[in-house]
Amino acid sequence: MALTLRIDLDGCTGCACCMMECPDLFDIDDESGQAILLEPHPSDDRLEEAERAVRSCPEGVITLEQG
């Protein structure tokens, strides 16, 4: 089953840790200043990168889930 990255935008402060850790998976929206997903369903070869992004978020609003 595929893994899905999710961001709880209600808690995102736009610190950009996810983007700095994984620029191929995340960016920061110029208007809102919040994180955006470039690739919500990372491939197996990007799994470690996605897990680093989850750990890098100081607000804990990024999750990696089945489905």
Confidence of residue 1 (pLDDT cuts 50, 70, 90): low
Domain 3-66: CATH architecture, name and number where available: 2-Layer Sandwich (3.30)
Global pTM value: 0.90
Question: Following CA atoms 22, 50, 36, 4 in sequence, which dihedral angle do they give, to the nearest 10 degrees?
Answer: 160
- Residue 63: the pLDDT is 98
Residue indicated by tokens 């470039």: 38
Half-sphere exposure at residue 7, Cβ-oriented, CA atoms within 13 angstroms: 27
The 10s digit of each residue's pLDDT in 4-46 is: 999 999 999 999 999 999 999 999 999 999 999 999 999 999 9
